[in-house]
Structure formats: C-alpha cells, structure tokens
Amino acid sequence: MPKKTSDFSRPKGTRDFLPEEMAKRRSVEETMRSVFEDFGYGEVETPVFEHLELITAKSGEEIKAHLYHFKDKSSRDLTLRPELTAPVMRLYLEALTHAPKPVKLYYFGDCFRYEEPQSGRYREFRQAGVELIGSPNPEAEAEVICVAVSALERLGLKDFRVSIGEVGVLRTLLESGGIHKEAHASVMNAIDKGVDVRKTLDGLGMQKDMEELLLTILELRGGKEALHTALELIEKTGIDLGDARAKINRLEETLRLLDVMGFEYSLDLGIARGLDYYTGMVFEIYAEGLGAQKQICGGGTYSLTEILDGEPAPTCGFAFGFDRIILALESQGKLAAPEKERLLVVATGEDMVGEAMRIASIIRRKRGCEVELMRRKLVKALAYANNMGYQRVVIVGGEELAKGCVVLRNMGKGEQKEVRIEDLGGPL
Ligand code: AMP
C-alpha cells in the first residue's frame, strides 16, 4: 500500500464541539453576555487576524514564539490574535476616542497561541472579557472585578477565589533597585511564572536591600493588613520610593469599594501578570479542581493606548478563559444545556409528506418544529421521538386532515388528542 501522506485529522491543540456541547457553551456565553450587558457594556467584534506589530508592540518580540504569524500574499506580517485586549484597544483608537467616557466594551472571541497543549491549555481557545476605558478612578477597578465575579456567580460557579495584586509597586521597587525599565519584563515574567526570582534579580545586579524588600513584598498575602505591612516595609528603608505609597493607598481604596459591595478577595502582592502594559492593580481568579490550569480569569489596570501611538487613556479590564470556565462548571456539575421544547411532525405515509411539510410551516409561524425526514413508519417514528426527547409529536394522517385536524401526542403522558390545524399556533 502506498504510504499515507495526507492528514485529515484535527490540528494539535484544537477541538471540535458537538451540538450538545455547543448548546452548553452557548448557554454559558449567553449568561456572561447578560451580565456584561446588565453593567452597560456594549459588544464589539474584531478580526481574527491583526498586524503582527499590534501584538509585538505591547508584548515584545519574544511573543512571536507563541504566535501563529505569517505573511499574506502582499507580504504583510500578520498574526492570528493571541488575545483580545490589544485588538479592542486598537478598535477604540480607530473608532471610539471621541465617545463620552467611560467607554465600556465587551467581547467574545477565539484566540490562538502556539503552546504545548494539555488539559485546559489549547492552541485555539476562547476568551470573553471587558475593557473599561477612560476612568482613572478606583471605582472603575472595583467595577471591573465586580463584573467578573458577578458573571461567575450567575453561572453558579462555586469554589473560586479572587487574588489581587499591584504591579506598579513592584515596578517602582525594581526601578529604585537600579533595574532598567527594559529588564522589568524578564523579572515580571519570572514572578508570573513562579520561577526563581532571586536568581533572575541576581543576574541583573539589583541593589541587595531593595532585592530583599522586593522578595519579602512578593510573599505578602492576606487581607488589607498585608498592604499595611508592605507600606511599613517600604517606609523602613528610608528610601524615597516614588509613587509606591500612593499606589498602595490607591489599591486600598479599590479594596474598600469591594468590601462595600460585599466581595471576597485575598491580596497577593506576588501577582505580576507577565505582560508589560499593566500599571497598577492586577487580579486573577482561580477555580478549584482544574489542576495546573486553574486560572480562569486575568486582568487589571493598564495603559496600552500610548504604546499604540494614541493619547493616554486609563483602562481596566479582564479576560475570562472561557474553556476553563466550562471545565470548572462541568467538574462542579453546573453545566447544563437549556431545556428545549421539541415538536416533531410525522406523516403517516408517503402520500402525507407534503401535508406534513405544509403543517410544519403553519406551526413555525408561532413556534419551532421539525419534520420527520427518514420516512419511518409511525410506530418507529414515535419510538424515535421518544428516544430523542421530543415532548410532542404532530401526526399528520388523511382521516384527521379531512376534518382540518391533526393528532397531537404528548410523549411524556402518552396521551393523544385531535387538534384543529389553526389551533397549532396556540398553547398546546
Ligand atoms: P491572558 O490573556 O494570558 O491573561 O489569559 C486570560 C485567560 O485566558 C487565562 O486566565 C486563562 O484562563 C485563559 N487562557 C490563556 N491561555 C490559554 C490557553 N492556551 N488555553 C486555554 N485558556 C487559556
């Protein structure tokens, strides 16, 4: 046999979704959408591919290793989007800078990253998120966290935790310790990935006392008292640490607003969120039971418009890992497809097929219905309807038709009655 050279299988790291699964995914999407809309956010959609530069501008050239990037036939450098924050901010700069502030946007979209697939980590995955543009205030930050938590609550997800950090303080400490801005990304990345931060810092020649201070602060966890500890530690150094104090006070204000709204969170000053554009509060949400890929949401306050040659615009947003939320809901038994009313129209014989199609069209003016398309005999058609979960069957036969009627069978009760065709649009 000749060697098989073709490969018609699914590419690595991608998935297919069958109808039952799609119904569940759509239902989760609808719930999230309703929460975003309740908070007054408007949906946007951006292209699946963007100029490569849009992504490298904010994340650096190293990101290319994780991108599906390519040249088109006119030699433009393009990439499939790895996330939606940069595309949405590009959209904002192109179309919405003059809109009254705040501009509140949400999105759903598939993203593409060249990563090693594992459970909860794919090469094609879905994100949903919001961006709140134009308000520099803590209430904007508190609202964004509130949107994320409200969506998870409305989905019925249990056992998730919100951790909040502050990257502005970390950056200030790096600067004061003599670490060049260009080197910040590698340190933040090390913090984000949980690799040996001390080793990374040593290699960069950070001032020893500042290094110790940073490493201690990275370990701070807990409630608001952890912020006070951070402040005390910073003050003890006696060094002018620029706006570190202001950043901590600012975060305290955001936390106070979350307290007012009754949200639970814990502070984790070790959250760095790899990307360069975060400037202040950052947060992550984790779901129990997902193993290594438990982070279901990431977000914070960032400044991206300047990087994209626009006017500065304070922005806060988050992205949900949609697929991980599906996995978390599923593991908690909270993922159900919505119940659907199903009605099947069955012809009693081949001569009745046209009539069945005609009656189905009448029914569809008021409600959905399907027609039996396999020409099964009535008994088999009813067994099929039963197996497939149709609640009702409309049986189209000559005798009843002559009286302007059909037989309506309630599959659950096994009861039948004659119904006038014109009444099929009313309550059944
Ligand atoms: P990020 O844009 O990296 O902040 O990711 C936001 C969220 O998307 C994360 O919290 C994850 O839940 C999800 N996510 C990121 N990468 C992947 C991936 N490769 N597969 C599935 N979900 C992902």
Summarised one tens digit per residue, pLDDT across range 31-60 is 999 999 999 999 999 999 999 999 998 777
pLDDT-derived band at 1, boundaries 50, 70, 90: low
Contact (CB, 8 A) for 120 and 320: no
The closest alpha carbon to 283, from 241, 318, 248, 311, belongs to 318
- Is the model more confident about 219 or about 239? 219
Atom of ligand 1 nearest to the CA of 324: 12
pLDDT-derived band at 407, boundaries 50, 70, 90: very high
**pLDDT at residue 320, as a whole number:** 98
Q: How far is CA 353 from the centre of its chain?
A: 45
Tell me the C-alpha distance between 420 and 405, whole Å: 4
Atom of ligand 1 nearest to the CA of 127: 8
Distance 118 CA to ligand 1 centre (A): 13
Element (H, E) at 105: strand 103-112
Distance 321 CA to ligand 1 centre (A): 5
Q: 343 pLDDT exceeds 90?
A: yes
The closest alpha carbon to 22, from 311, 322, 419, belongs to 322
Contact (CB, 8 A) for 270 and 284: no
Q: 344 pLDDT exceeds 70?
A: yes
Q: How far is CA 363 from CA 98, 378, 413, in A?
A: 48, 20, 22
pLDDT-derived band at 157, boundaries 50, 70, 90: very high
Please tell me the residue having the least CA distance from ligand 1 atom 10. 297
Peptide bond into 102 cis (omega under 30): yes
Mean pLDDT, residues 190-217 taken together = 82
Please tell me the residue having the least CA distance from ligand 1 atom 23. 321
Pocket test for ligand 1, best of 15, 67, 113, 125 (most atoms within 8 A of CB): 125
pLDDT-derived band at 233, boundaries 50, 70, 90: confident
**pLDDT at residue 2, as a whole number:** 66
Strands 124-133 and 103-112: antiparallel
* H helix runs in 48-166, sequence order: 52-59, 85-95, 138-154
The closest alpha carbon to 28, from 340, 333, 325, 339, belongs to 325
Three-state DSSP class for residue 134: coil
Contacts of residue 283, defined as CB under 8 A and 6 or more positions apart, other chains included, come to: 145, 148, 162, 163, 164, 165, 265, 271, 297, 298, 299, 300, 318
Tell me the C-alpha distance between 335 and 27, whole Å: 9
For 251, phi then psi, to 5°, come to: -65, -35
Mean pLDDT, residues 219-241 taken together = 83
Q: Give the binding-site residues of ligand 1, using a 6 Å CB cut-off.
A: 83, 113, 115, 120-122, 125, 127, 295-298, 319, 321, 323-324
Mean pLDDT of the chain: 92
Q: How far is CA 248 from CA 101, 278, 393, 426, in A?
A: 25, 15, 65, 62
- Cβ neighbourhood burial of 372 (10 Å; 0-12, 13-18, 19+): buried
AA letter at 149: V
Atom of ligand 1 nearest to the CA of 82: 2
The pTM of this model reads 0.93
pLDDT-derived band at 228, boundaries 50, 70, 90: confident
Length of the chain: 428
- In the chain, what's the furthest Cα-to-Cα distance? 97
